[in-house]
């Protein structure tokens, strides 16, 4: 059973939301369906395969992880003309194809600042008889204002047919993190992760990745200091600053001129690097944590947890409780504390990927096909 699926995703800070959506769209195409992604921020290179169409809207993003305001690609406030242009492209995309399902990534659980655009898209899709599905990660951030919970429930009730949760109740259930009502069917897909390459030869070295957001400097700096004190100094280290890291960060890391240290701005082959590594050090974003566990790589997670954004910290806590990662809270981050956490991770058994459902992309494609057919 195949499906024609239209996705809307607008990552505002990190790139994980686009990465996860692209993996599901790829799976839809692999299953014989058709997929188009409407991307509200710059599409992430190398994630959507050739068979997936991508419609790039004029960029809307957040200038910092508070998400307090939205800006365009130049950092200016979003204009009415930009909203209008995005709406024209969305309408043209809808008019240019036939779709069974519309999938809105995060909304209405989040992305409330994009509500004018998304409610227009959802309404237009319903007029065309499309099934409407919300796609959310394992740990959606609950709003502090209970009125927002009621707003989410009302939008689900009025517009949506189902919610896909890309997690596994073996780690955490949606009811444990989302206190509001969800008045439509909620379907757990398992974790969405790209195919894990097979391990070849002995594991060696350390991969340090700052994630897809702009918050990598503190972690990579502490890891560099730990390496300079002698942590696994006889093995290769790879530092991956991330696509949104400060522009001077790779140069700062390279200036240390340590033997066996490689510094990259980004790495499209990160799953291969994780599979070959003896140890990974990362933030607590969805994709990197899941890829590390899927690769059975011992991992130290230092979550980025600014006020009001507990998602990464919660993921680190739940995965550490399941003995899948070693958790170091950011407020304790230092070279010494990181070295201690790395030593503990290396002394523990590697994570067992069989403890998790990791076929979330294929399962999501199957569930969308079922929902789109009305079964």
pLDDT tens profile 73-108? 999 999 999 999 999 999 999 999 999 999 999 999
Q: Is the pLDDT of residue 197 over 70?
A: yes
pLDDT score at 214: 67
Q: Does residue 367 share a domain with residue 351?
A: no
- Residue 199 belongs to some domain of the structure: no
- Residue 196 belongs to some domain of the structure: no
pLDDT score at 245: 67
- Binned at pLDDT 50, 70 and 90, residue 213 comes out as low
Q: Does residue 240 share a domain with residue 140?
A: no
Buried b / exposed e across 199-237, counting CB within 10 Å, b at 16+? eeeebebbbbbbbbbbbbbebbbbbbbbbeeebbeeebb
Mean pLDDT of the chain: 93
Q: Does residue 254 share a domain with residue 187?
A: no
Q: Does residue 210 share a domain with residue 169?
A: no
Q: Is the pLDDT of residue 325 over 90?
A: yes
Give the strand order in the sheet containing 186-188: 53-56, 34-39, 4-9, 101-105, 131-137, 162-166, 186-188
Number of domains composing the chain: 2
- Residue 200 belongs to some domain of the structure: no
Q: Does residue 256 share a domain with residue 134?
A: no
Residue 247's CATH number: 3.40.50.2000
Q: Does residue 13 share a domain with residue 52?
A: yes
Q: Does residue 228 share a domain with residue 366?
A: no
Q: Does residue 94 share a domain with residue 25?
A: yes
Whole-prediction pTM: 0.91
- Binned at pLDDT 50, 70 and 90, residue 375 comes out as low
- Encode pLDDT of 350-363 as tens digits: 999 999 999 999 99
Q: Does residue 56 share a domain with residue 161?
A: yes
Residue 318 and residue 320: Cα distance in Å, rounded? 5
Domain range for 185 is 4-191+359-373
pLDDT score at 148: 96
């Amino acid at each position: 059973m195949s499906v024609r699926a239209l996705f809307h995703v607008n990552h505002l800070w990190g790139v994980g939301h686009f990465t996860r959506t692209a993996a599901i769209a790829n799976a839809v195409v692999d299953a014989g369906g058709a997929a188009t992604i409407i991307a509200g921020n710059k599409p992430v290179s190398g994630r959507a395969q050739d068979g997936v169409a991508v419609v790039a809207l004029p960029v809307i993003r957040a200038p910092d992880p508070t998400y307090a305001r939205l800006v365009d690609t130049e950092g200016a406030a979003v204009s009415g003309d930009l909203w209008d242009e995005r709406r024209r492209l969305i309408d043209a995309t809808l008019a240019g194809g036939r779709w069974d399902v519309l999938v809105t990534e995060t909304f209405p659980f989040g992305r409330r600042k994009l509500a004018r655009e998304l409610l227009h898209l959802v309404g237009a899709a319903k007029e065309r008889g499309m099934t409407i599905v919300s796609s959310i990660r394992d740990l959606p951030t609950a709003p502090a204002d209970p009125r927002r919970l009621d707003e989410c429930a009302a939008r689900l009730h009025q517009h949506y047919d189902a919610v896909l949760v890309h997690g596994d109740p073996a780690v955490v259930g949606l009811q444990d993190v989302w206190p509001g009502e969800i008045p439509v069917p909620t379907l757990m897909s398992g974790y969405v992760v790209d195919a894990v390459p097979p391990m070849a030869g002995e594991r060696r070295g350390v991969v340090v990745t700052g994630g897809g957001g702009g918050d990598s400097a503190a972690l990579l700096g502490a890891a560099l200091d730990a390496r300079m004190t002698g942590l696994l100094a006889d093995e290769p280290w790879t530092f991956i600053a991330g696509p949104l890291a400060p522009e001077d960060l790779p140069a700062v890391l390279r200036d240390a001129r340590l033997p066996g240290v490689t510094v990259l701005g980004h790495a499209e082959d990160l799953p291969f690097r994780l599979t070959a590594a003896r140890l990974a050090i990362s933030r607590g974003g969805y994709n990197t944590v899941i890829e590390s566990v899927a690769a059975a790589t011992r991992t130290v997670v230092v979550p980025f947890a600014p006020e009001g954004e507990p998602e990464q910290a919660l993921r680190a806590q739940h995965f550490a409780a399941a003995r899948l990662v070693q958790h170091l809270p950011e407020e304790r981050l230092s070279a010494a504390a990181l070295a201690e956490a790395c030593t503990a991770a290396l002394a523990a058994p590697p994570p067992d990927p069989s403890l998790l459902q990791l076929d979330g992309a294929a399962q999501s494609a199957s569930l969308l096909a079922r929902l789109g057919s009305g079964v």
